[in-house]
C-alpha cells in the first residue's frame, strides 16, 4: 500500500493531522501490520490535497508550525474504495533479529542472549497490551485484525519461550551465557 492510501485509510475514520496519522502506524491500530514515517506522510498529504482527495484546515504558512487538520473528500472516499478493490500485494516480513539468529554461530553468545531476551520481552509486552484492549463498539473488521495480531504475537512468544535454551546453548562457548 502506498502512503497516500494509508493516509486515506486513517482519514476515512475521522479528521486528523499528519502527526496523528503517524501515531496510528507507530502505536495505534495499524502498528502491527503497516508502517509509514513523516517522510512519506507529508508529501502524500500534499499530493492528496493537490488532487482534491483531502481538504486542509489550519496551518499559517509563515515559519512556525501550526497544526493542519486534514479531512477526506467524497472524491477521496471513492479513490480509497478503488484502492482497496485492487489485488493486494503479498505480505512482507522484515526481521533483522531473525536474520541474526539464523547466523547464531557468528555471534558473541552474550550479545545473542541479550538481543534474544529483549526481543522476547518486547513481544510479551505486545501480547499483554493487545489483551488489555476493550472490544466494545469496535467494528468486526478491526476486531478480526486485532485478533490476528494477537495470534501472531502469542505464537512468537510461545515459540521463543519454549526454544530459548536450544538456541542460546548452541554454538561455541555458549554454555556460560545461558543464564
Partner DNA sequence: AATCAATATATCGGCTTGATATATTATAAA
Partner DNA sequence: TTTATAATATATCAAGCCGATATATTGATT
Helix (H) or strand (E) holding 26: helix 18-26
The three grid cell numbers given for residue 51, joined into one nine-digit string: 488532487
Rule CB under 8 A: say whether 133 interacts with a copy of itself. Answer: no
What is d(CA 23, CA 119) in angstroms, rounded to the nearest whole number?
A: 22
Q: Which of residues 51-90 bind DNA (CB under 7 A)?
A: 59, 63-69, 89
Which position has the grid cell 497544526? Answer: 67
Piece of 43-51, 65-73, 129-137, 146-154 that binds a copy of itself (CB under 8 A): 146-154
Piece of 14-22, 42-50, 53-61, 144-152 that binds a copy of itself (CB under 8 A): 144-152
Opening angle at CA 32, ends 27 and 36, nearest 5: 65
Distances (CA, A) of 84 to 2, 5, 22, 33, 160: 11, 9, 20, 16, 35
Closest to 28 measured CA to CA, from 145, 152, 140: 145
Rule CB under 7 A: say whether 42 interacts with DNA. Answer: yes
What is d(CA 73, CA 82) in angstroms, rounded to the nearest whole number?
A: 14
Binds 62: which of a copy of itself, DNA, none (CB < 5-8 Å by kind) = none
Rule CB under 8 A: say whether 136 interacts with a copy of itself. Answer: no
Rule CB under 7 A: say whether 35 interacts with DNA. Answer: yes
Rule CB under 7 A: say whether 149 interacts with DNA. Answer: no
Positive or negative, the CA dihedral 41, 47, 51, 54 is positive
By C-beta, is 64 or 89 nearer to a copy of itself? 89
Rule CB under 8 A: say whether 124 interacts with a copy of itself. Answer: no
Cβ pair 20, 67 in contact under 8 A = no
Q: Which residues bind DNA (CB under 7 A)?
A: 2-4, 17-20, 22-23, 35-40, 42-45, 59, 63-69, 89
In the complex, the residues that contact a copy of itself under the rule CB under 8 A are: 1, 6, 9, 12, 29-30, 32-35, 80-81, 84-85, 87-108, 111, 115, 122, 139-142, 144-145, 147-148, 151-152, 154-156, 158-160, 163, 166-167, 170-171
Amino acid at each position: 500500500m502506498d502512503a497516500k492510501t494509508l493516509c486515506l485509510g486513517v482519514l476515512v475514520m475521522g479528521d486528523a493531522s499528519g502527526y496523528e496519522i503517524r501515531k496510528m502506524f507507530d502505536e495505534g491500530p495499524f502498528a502491527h501490520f503497516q508502517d509509514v514515517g513523516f517522510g512519506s506522510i507529508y508529501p502524500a498529504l500534499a499530493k492528496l490535497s493537490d488532487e482534491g482527495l483531502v481538504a486542509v484546515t489550519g496551518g499559517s504558512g509563515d515559519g512556525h508550525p501550526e497544526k493542519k487538520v486534514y479531512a477526506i473528500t467524497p472524491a477521496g472516499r471513492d479513490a480509497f474504495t478503488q484502492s482497496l478493490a485492487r489485488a493486494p500485494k503479498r505480505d512482507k516480513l522484515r526481521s533483522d533479529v531473525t536474520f541474526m539468529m539464523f547466523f547464531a554461530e557468528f555471534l558473541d553468545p552474550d550479545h545473542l542472549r541479550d538481543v534474544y531476551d529483549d526481543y522476547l520481552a518486547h513481544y510479551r509486552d505486545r501480547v499483554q497490551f493487545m489483551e488489555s484492549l476493550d472490544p466494545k463498539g469496535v467494528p468486526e473488521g478491526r476486531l478480526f485484525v486485532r485478533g490476528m495480531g494477537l495470534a501472531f504475537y502469542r505464537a512468537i512468544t510461545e515459540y521463543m519461550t519454549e526454544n530459548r535454551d536450544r538456541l542460546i546453548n548452541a554454538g561455541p562457548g555458549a554454555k556460560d551465557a545461558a543464564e
